[in-house]
Structure 1
Amino acid sequence: MRIALLTDLHANREALDACLAHAAGQGADRYAFTGDLVGYGGDPARVLDTVMEHAARGAIVVKGNHDEATAGGPRPGMHAEAREVIAWTRGQLRPEQLAFLDALPLTFELGSMMFVHASAHEPQRWEYVMGLVEAERSLRASHSRMVFSGHVHAPALYRRADDGRMGAHAPQAGTRVKIEARHQYLVIPGSVGQPRDGNCAACYAMYDDESRELTYFRVAYDHGAAARRVIAEGLPIVFAMRLVEGI
């Protein structure tokens, strides 16, 4: 089974449509959305409609911190611009869409795979996995061999060897990574809707659980149109600039 791994969509319909079309062309059998479906971007209702349609056909979907804030109210630590978009987003969504966000689980397990937005260690705390220390903490908290997450808007891959040693791999778009059965891996595909690694192309990854191969992808899309949508909706211009600059 080839699973397309998409995270941090952030209400960016242009990026989502481009990644879904690319994944279909790569032969995806199933889709997993690991949180932050909304927030920052200008088209939350359309993005949620798309994800809900995929969920009805068996897609895996877990909750992100922006999804939680939209459904139940932002936490005190969320910065002012993000809070502004959350309030606007709530007004754009239908009751059934808000209910969908509210009902999403924090984690989902399938065989030897775990899906979570942030860290598998206390996922409700929304810890950012920024290096080996946080990656090891997340992997130790899970019994799964493969942990798929998001929250960090740049692609990353961590490995915990069978002897406990940690390592990091710099994923290259389009290059297949062979997954060793005896190791444990933390896969962060990068953001579909708001990449922050200096490259404005959308990110997603594909995992083949039969061949045990993982591939990261970058997908060009009309980021200018997505940025103009943010501006047209009167949202903070910083979120439009991030789409253009990839930061």
Structure 2
Amino acid sequence: MKLALITDLHANREAVQAVLDHARQQGVQRYAFLGDYVGYGADPGWVIDTVRQYVQDGAIAVGGNHDAGVVQGASPQMRPEARQVIEWTRAQLNDEQARFLTQVPLSRTENDMLFVHANAFAPAEWEYIQGRIEAVRSLHATTCHYTFCGHMHEPKLFHLSGTGKAGDFVPTPGVAIPIPPHRQWLVVPGSAGQPRDGNPAACYAIFNIAEQTLTFQRVPYDHELAADKIRRAGLPERLAARLAHGQ
């Protein structure tokens, strides 16, 4: 079975639709959404409704810090522009959309896989996996051999051997990577709606469970339309401009 791993959608309808279309063309049979459905972009309601429909059809979904911000109020650690978008987003959602954000869990375990937005060691504190130290800490916090998380907007793959040797690398899009279960793996697919590695194309990954391979994907989309919507919504200009540069 092919499982699509999609995270940090950030209310970017154009990017999310492009990713979903691409995943379907790749023969994906199931989907896992790793949080941050809202924030930054201009289509939070559409993104939430789309994810809700996939969940009703059997997809996995966990919540992110921007989702929690809409429900609970923006955290002091958030930048002013992110806080502004959180307040704007709250006013855009209907009751059912807001309820979805309150009900989505912070993490979910299925078989030998853990799905979480930020990390496995403290999901509700939103600490980033910035390198091997945080990755190993996260892998030590679970017995699962496969951990899938978002929060970091750049694609990355970490691994930990049974002897405690850790490694990481930046994947090449479209190249299948063997990830056998004699090691632990931590997968950061990169952001679908807000990539920040200098490439504006949307990110996601496909886990072929039967073959135990992982393929990172990049999908071009109409970032100019997404940026124009942000401007028309009256949101900060930087949030629109950065989409063209993947920053």
User: What is the TM-score normalised by the length of structure 1?
Assistant: 0.99
Once residues 210 and 60 of structure 2 are traced to their aligned partners in structure 1, the CA distance between those partners, rounded to angstroms, is: 18
Once residues 116 and 193 of structure 1 are traced to their aligned partners in structure 2, the CA distance between those partners, rounded to angstroms, is: 18
Shift of 1:143: 1.0
- The DSSP-based 3-state class of the residue aligned with 1:82 is helix
- The DSSP-based 3-state class of the residue aligned with 2:182 is coil
2:16 is aligned with 1:19: no
Once residues 156 and 148 of structure 1 are traced to their aligned partners in structure 2, the CA distance between those partners, rounded to angstroms, is: 11
Once residues 163 and 93 of structure 1 are traced to their aligned partners in structure 2, the CA distance between those partners, rounded to angstroms, is: 48
Shift of 1:87: 0.4
1:178 corresponding residue in structure 2: 178
Once residues 239 and 23 of structure 1 are traced to their aligned partners in structure 2, the CA distance between those partners, rounded to angstroms, is: 26
1:168 corresponding residue in structure 2: 168
- The DSSP-based 3-state class of the residue aligned with 1:171 is coil
2:197 is aligned with 1:197: yes
Structure 1 segment 75-90 matched on structure 2, within 5 A: 75-90=75-90
Once residues 230 and 113 of structure 2 are traced to their aligned partners in structure 1, the CA distance between those partners, rounded to angstroms, is: 35
Shift of 1:169: 1.9
2:87 is aligned with 1:103: no
Letter of the 2:70 partner, please give it.
T
2:3 is aligned with 1:29: no
1:131 corresponding residue in structure 2: 131
Shift of 1:245: 1.1
- The DSSP-based 3-state class of the residue aligned with 2:97 is helix
1:62 corresponding residue in structure 2: 62
Q: Which runs of 5+ in 1 are unaligned?
A: none
- The DSSP-based 3-state class of the residue aligned with 1:32 is strand
- The DSSP-based 3-state class of the residue aligned with 1:204 is strand
2:209 corresponding residue in structure 1: 209
Once residues 207 and 179 of structure 2 are traced to their aligned partners in structure 1, the CA distance between those partners, rounded to angstroms, is: 10
Once residues 26 and 11 of structure 2 are traced to their aligned partners in structure 1, the CA distance between those partners, rounded to angstroms, is: 23
- The DSSP-based 3-state class of the residue aligned with 2:69 is helix
2:230 corresponding residue in structure 1: 230
Q: Report the number of matched residues.
A: 247
Once residues 174 and 96 of structure 1 are traced to their aligned partners in structure 2, the CA distance between those partners, rounded to angstroms, is: 37
Once residues 71 and 26 of structure 1 are traced to their aligned partners in structure 2, the CA distance between those partners, rounded to angstroms, is: 35
Once residues 43 and 216 of structure 1 are traced to their aligned partners in structure 2, the CA distance between those partners, rounded to angstroms, is: 25
2:233 is aligned with 1:242: no
Once residues 89 and 110 of structure 1 are traced to their aligned partners in structure 2, the CA distance between those partners, rounded to angstroms, is: 31
2:4 is aligned with 1:4: yes
2:140 is aligned with 1:140: yes
Considering only aligned residues, what root-mean-square deviation do their CA atoms show, in Å? 0.6
1:218 corresponding residue in structure 2: 218
Once residues 72 and 95 of structure 1 are traced to their aligned partners in structure 2, the CA distance between those partners, rounded to angstroms, is: 15
Larger deviation: 146-155 or 161-170? 161-170
Letter of the 1:221 partner, please give it.
Y
Shift of 1:74: 1.1
Shift of 1:181: 1.8
Shift of 1:103: 0.8
Once residues 127 and 208 of structure 2 are traced to their aligned partners in structure 1, the CA distance between those partners, rounded to angstroms, is: 27
Q: Which runs of 5+ in 2 are unaligned?
A: none
Shift of 1:71: 1.3
Letter of the 2:31 partner, please give it.
Y
Identical counterparts, % of pairs: 50
